[in-house]
Amino acid sequence: MKDTIKVSIAGASGYSGVELLRILTRHRHATVEKLFANTSAGKRVGELYPWFAGRVDLVYEQYTAEAACSSDVVFIALPSGEAMNLVPGLLERGKKVIDLGGDFRLKNASLYEKFYKHEHTAKSTLAHAVFGLPEWNRSQIKSAMLVANPGCYPTSAIIPLAPVLKEGLIEKNGITISSLSGVSGAGRSASVDLSFAEVNESVKAYKVGVHQHTPEMRTVLEEIAGDQVSLTFVPHLLPLTRGIYTSIYAPLARSVTQGEVLSVFQKYYSGEPFVRFSENAIPEIKNVNYTNYIDIGFRMYPDNNQLILLSAIDNLIKGAAGQAVQNMNLMFGLDEREGLL
Confidence (pLDDT) at 322? 98
Would you put residue 232 in left (φ > 0), alpha (ψ -120 to 50) or beta? Answer: beta
What are the b/e assignments for 102-125, b being 16+ CB within 10 Å?
bbbbbeeeebbeebbeeebebeeb
Asked if 152 is an active-site residue, the reply is yes
Confidence (pLDDT) at 69? 93
Q: What's the residue count for the chain? A: 341
Tell me the domain boundaries of the chain: 5-150+319-331, 153-315
Burial of 44 (0-12, 13-18, 19+ CB in 10 A): middle
Confidence (pLDDT) at 283? 98
Under 8 Å between Cβ of 327 and 140: no
Cβ count within 10 A of residue 216: 26
Pick the CATH number of 5-150+319-331 from 3.20.20.70, 3.40.50.970, 3.40.50.720, 3.40.50.1820: 3.40.50.720
What distances in angstroms separate CA 220 from CA 30, 133, 225, 229, one per listed residue?
30, 10, 9, 10
Under 8 Å between Cβ of 314 and 290: yes
Q: Whole-model pTM?
A: 0.95
Q: Which of 32, 133, 147, 152 is catalytic?
A: 152
According to the CATH classification, is domain 153-315 in 3.40.190.10? no
Ranges under pLDDT 50 in the chain = none
Tell me the C-alpha distance between 109 and 128, whole Å.
13
Instruction: Please list, in sequence order, all residues whose beta carbon lies within 8 angstroms of the beta carbon of residue 191, skipping any fewer than 6 positions away.
Output: none
Confidence (pLDDT) at 230? 97
Confidence (pLDDT) at 200? 86
Confidence (pLDDT) at 184? 82
Confidence (pLDDT) at 187? 63
